[in-house]
Structure 1
């Protein structure tokens, strides 16, 4: 049967026609027709060692390049193992096309029981973590289904889309001619005119406007409009962890990303009109639902379920880029001579208010005996080139980075969408592969991954993937002997921690066993070790054994 075109060829041909270059995943029995077809195509396949890491890698590829991540999955256990990774992509709005194999058609709907990998309804398992799910039952339907899935994935709100194809549909010879072209364009998602008009009315009379920039700002490529609006309104801007990098870090109106600090919470609560763009005002952004704004809220999001889900306001369902562009244009006429007429925040210019609040945050941190933590994060930032992209797992270092990391010309990526462990390293592998494959202008192909020892064990097997493909990724593992953030939470709440301490391997020896160079250094030497890793070829690991503390967002004892 080798060399005979089958349903798998239609998958590969359609993906190539849509612009796909790289696919992540793991082969499986029911997907062999798909992998046979890849041998006749031009897709670059990166095989992970665990399916959820394949999902994280496809996610990281998309985030790093701005292109659609593609994931191939086997049936049953393989498909189910991917779901934790897909939850992160779904929660964060990462465009992906997921192609899962299925048992043969005659086994669907329990018509024949006892097939290997059989589930009662496989695509139902993906319903919580993907935008939609489709079963393709005939080879002739494959090109259109993939084209539709790609269109849906890139249409805001973006996200992963699930397709599954039975084994015999992938394997059987076909009469369908080779796919020559495919077209997928994102659906338009503009704001309603009357809502923009109403928002401008509010903003034109606002005395104390402020802006919260969430992850949707970055996904909608709304950075230029955000900057223009902020400068027209003289509105302070703060970024959420997902929005980190959407606004210039050192701009005179930038509150940076100290979204969890009480000083910032109080400032935002005092705004008379608060623009929230691309954020649900969820747990972290709302300072764990303690945020109680006294003014009016304009909330912009492509996902209608987000609007007013946590706070009442003027909800504008739209792509962030389109919405802010429309709002920016409408403000031009409304704000004529506005800068001279507008009052300041209780007599304080916005720029002064921003500077004062950042100084307060700095003073609070310095009062909390956090010198080691502040230096550690500063040393990492100084070592990382300005254009390098970074991928952060759910670890204390990442919790710090949510607030203090200046992305500069690079991009900041973390797992804050769903909060699952194991994201950092496989996502970084996908990101580095993507940057090498696409040659994204102005971007370093090498990337940095940051994990704790607990989260590192979720993806330690991907050292084999990094070595096999010689991926330019430097992995920083901050080893504190357990689940550090959970330890801190439990000690703070109960006075002691339970089940947070972990036996773990010698990470240096383990990495070397995979053929990956590794070093262990003291915290004060992390910067030099990272610089050496960045200058090397292929993957490498830096291990730092240290116990980091989190900052308190209020005065200790307050």
Structure 2
């Protein structure tokens, strides 16, 4: 086919918007997209399961700061993508999902019997996306894609869904080639001056200010430097949520770490007379399973208006993190406040010492050695991706992000993100990434070994093999005395990876550092497998069994 068609308009539009990579899987109704991409400069990354295509686009976006683009097929393909879209939606990751549809004649609800036909495919996507569109004519394609791109970027960012019927993708078009498209992302969302003035007044009078840095603080461009500057003006210790890791270095004197599930940390947040929460909803994990009971005033800053005041009475500031932090700092400086070292660093250091002492009281040498070994093996700037596994739960608290990105599926809590997301990040950045999963979560992603080999992605995949769903085993055993349906048959992961012509290495907790480090010296994918039975730390002075049972009761 040499005549330009709707598929060409799609790839021309994406190229004009700045896209360079597309993730996905071909499908019958999407053939127009895939034929057109052959004639474009876009690089296509072919996954093996649609859910993993979304995770790869997600990891690409998180690591590059660009919109992740996905091509998806109709019906079963589109529905398979929804689970991973829930994570991108909850974590505010900007994605553009271009999915095919049955021919226009089949739209509208009539059961025409088209392959893959759904009663309302667009409705299925509405719960996990910021916006959805259905293209009705080819001329709409450039404008709608530009609008969708802007919505995906606009704070709070997130995935946007555009579906295009098969006949429009294949049909000839007389529309001129797309060379330039403008995007309305509306720029930073600045706080209202009245809200800024009230927040500044509270902060200026605070005697025990504390800052809680969430994922919104890490995602907002410029927020990390602005947060550190404000913390220094206030002399306020900073606690990071798992999603907020990297907003302040662990080596900064005001960093109180991110032991968000330890009661010492919860008590520090509770005892603040003014708590400044940036980009967090005080959800299940940041609130230590909804046990957080503040005694002072809370200033909550978030670009997602639905978050404000959703769990506690707050002074809500609807704004991008960076914009709010900059305005707060400017207001405080105008009042004569300046960075003067005081007790904040000692408060932060004392918290870290008390958490360390609690850990020393527990038998956690295996878990702590594993995390130390991984951290020592991985270069500081490495993007790391952690699945919902005990090693990942430890990393929420213990991992020092240093100069690299720390990424988890904690926003929605589904399994399977780490490896395909790390793969997408490796493709996008060209640098080696690290994925950490358990053996249960690994089976969600095992097919993407083929993708990693096909695209020679520089990704190291660490599989911690404990023979089942480890965290669920621990929760159920502590709550009920026995675990059900948590033990798993699994393959020989080393042999399986090698069957894909991927170097794979068995390791132990003692050797994992050297083995992982060696994979960073050679190109292409690599798999490391560590058999280890891990358990979680006790977050209070209760015994481990009691504390996990308490956490479970609070879920």
Q: For this structure pair, what is the TM-score category when the shorter chain's length is used for normalisation?
A: over 0.9
C-alpha distance in structure 1 between counterparts of 2:132 and 2:434, whole Å: 33
| 1:114-125 alignment, distance < 5 Å | 114-125=113-124
What is aligned with 1:10?
9
Partner secondary structure for residue 34 of structure 1: helix
Partner secondary structure for residue 157 of structure 1: coil
| 1:429-508 alignment, distance < 5 Å | 429-436=423-430, 445-508=431-494
C-alpha distance in structure 2 between counterparts of 1:181 and 1:330, whole Å: 40
**Equivalent residues of 1:30, 1:101 under 8 A apart:** yes
Give the superposition deviation at 1:338: 8.8
Per-residue CA deviation, residues 236-271 of structure 1 (Å, 9 max, x unaligned), is: 101101101011111111011111110011111000
What is aligned with 1:281?
282
1:371 aligns with 2:353: no
C-alpha distance in structure 1 between counterparts of 2:103 and 2:479, whole Å: 52
**Equivalent residues of 1:58, 1:96 under 8 A apart:** yes
C-alpha distance in structure 2 between counterparts of 1:449 and 1:40, whole Å: 33
What is aligned with 1:439?
none
What is aligned with 1:309?
310
Runs of 5+ unmatched residues, structure 2: 548-555
Partner secondary structure for residue 445 of structure 2: coil
Give the superposition deviation at 1:556: 3.0
Give the superposition deviation at 1:339: 5.1
Alignment CA distance shift 1:526-1:337 (3 Å): closer
Number of equivalenced pairs = 542
Per-residue CA deviation, residues 324-363 of structure 1 (Å, 9 max, x unaligned), is: 11111111112447959xxx7xxxx221121111011001
Per-residue CA deviation, residues 276-314 of structure 1 (Å, 9 max, x unaligned), is: 000000000000000001000000000010000001110
- CA RMSD across the alignment: 1.1
C-alpha distance in structure 1 between counterparts of 2:142 and 2:324, whole Å: 32
Partner secondary structure for residue 165 of structure 1: strand
What is aligned with 2:551?
none
Partner secondary structure for residue 152 of structure 1: helix
C-alpha distance in structure 1 between counterparts of 2:135 and 2:233, whole Å: 51
Per-residue CA deviation, residues 476-527 of structure 1 (Å, 9 max, x unaligned), is: 0000000000001111111111110000000011111111111111111000
C-alpha distance in structure 2 between counterparts of 1:218 and 1:358, whole Å: 22
C-alpha distance in structure 2 between counterparts of 1:407 and 1:110, whole Å: 49
What is aligned with 2:377?
383
1:518 aligns with 2:504: yes
C-alpha distance in structure 2 between counterparts of 1:409 and 1:110, whole Å: 51
Deviating beyond 3 angstroms after TM superposition, the runs of 4 or more aligned structure 1 residues are 335-340
Partner secondary structure for residue 466 of structure 1: helix
What is aligned with 2:553?
none
**Equivalent residues of 1:92, 1:417 under 8 A apart:** yes
C-alpha distance in structure 2 between counterparts of 1:77 and 1:108, whole Å: 17
C-alpha distance in structure 2 between counterparts of 1:552 and 1:370, whole Å: 10
Partner secondary structure for residue 524 of structure 1: coil
What is aligned with 1:263?
264
C-alpha distance in structure 2 between counterparts of 1:336 and 1:386, whole Å: 34
What is aligned with 1:353?
347
**Equivalent residues of 1:200, 1:334 under 8 A apart:** no
C-alpha distance in structure 2 between counterparts of 1:219 and 1:103, whole Å: 36
What is aligned with 1:23?
22
Per-residue CA deviation, residues 434-485 of structure 1 (Å, 9 max, x unaligned), is: 002xxxxxxxx00000000000000100000000001000100000000000
Give the superposition deviation at 1:185: 3.9
What is aligned with 2:51?
52
What is aligned with 1:236?
237
What is aligned with 1:407?
401
Per-residue CA deviation, residues 117-136 of structure 1 (Å, 9 max, x unaligned), is: 00000010011110010000
What is aligned with 1:170?
169
